[in-house]
Structure 1
Amino acid sequence: MTQTAKLLYTARTHTCGGRHDGTSRSSDGRLDIMLSPRGGAGIGTNPEQLFAAGWSACFEGAMEIAASKRKIELPRKSAIDAEIDLVLDEGAYLLRARLNVSLPGLDPEIAHTIIDEAHQTCPYSKAVRGNIDVTVALI
């Protein structure tokens, strides 16, 4: 971090039991969830779903910033369908991701510009860049 960097927020969670009937709770109590294996019969969520939700929410915020720079308002029914794959490849686990972005009513060229900028500035996109296969598409 540079000397001018300013810490904006630190998320804190406590997780016990992992994805096999575990729990995870945030330090402020606003997140309190049960965890279960992927595709299993458990009643909780799994890390891939949580990652998809966090990334898509952050990406939408990055799109709002990109749109506002251009004095454009995102459509009210904007949406992101995030898909996170957990893959086993030659004995090693890895992730793969698709972000399918819907910006109804927005000119496709403008939409692509906003999406491309968001993918460059979104902290989640930056974190995974070069580490996992990512496809971002306007649908």
Structure 2
Amino acid sequence: MSTPANETLSVVVERDLAYPPEKVWRALTHPHLIEEWLMKNDFKPTVDHRFNFRGDWGAVDCQVVAVEPNKTLSYTWAAMGLESVVTWSLTPTSEGTRLRMEQIGFRPDQQQAYQGAKFGWQKFFGNLEQVLSRET
């Protein structure tokens, strides 16, 4: 059975974090903290702001789509032929925050990018947890 050409795949990572949404939000939106767990950037949590992430391998061109402080952050993620959208959702829990990241828009012929994202986001989440544990 083949996948229709217009059907896209998404990567979802969810973690329960022992930190309040405000603290997780800071790590997702402050450029110096984003650099510690993800990549160098010129991010601002402002709708329509264009920014990029820069790594050793190249850059990702992005644009902020939605900002709802301490709740939702969404931006486009374009790199090496991939046109996708990354959405962060923060939900308060009794223990802290449930953080959900979904990256949508992988075409069926982009298996390498898809598998890379599945691996990469797990690593980035681990880095994020280390940053959160250090930040007060």
Q: Which has the larger radius of gyration?
A: 1
Q: Shorter-chain TM-score: which interval?
A: 0.3 to 0.5
Q: When you count strand as a share of all residues, which structure comes out higher? A: 2
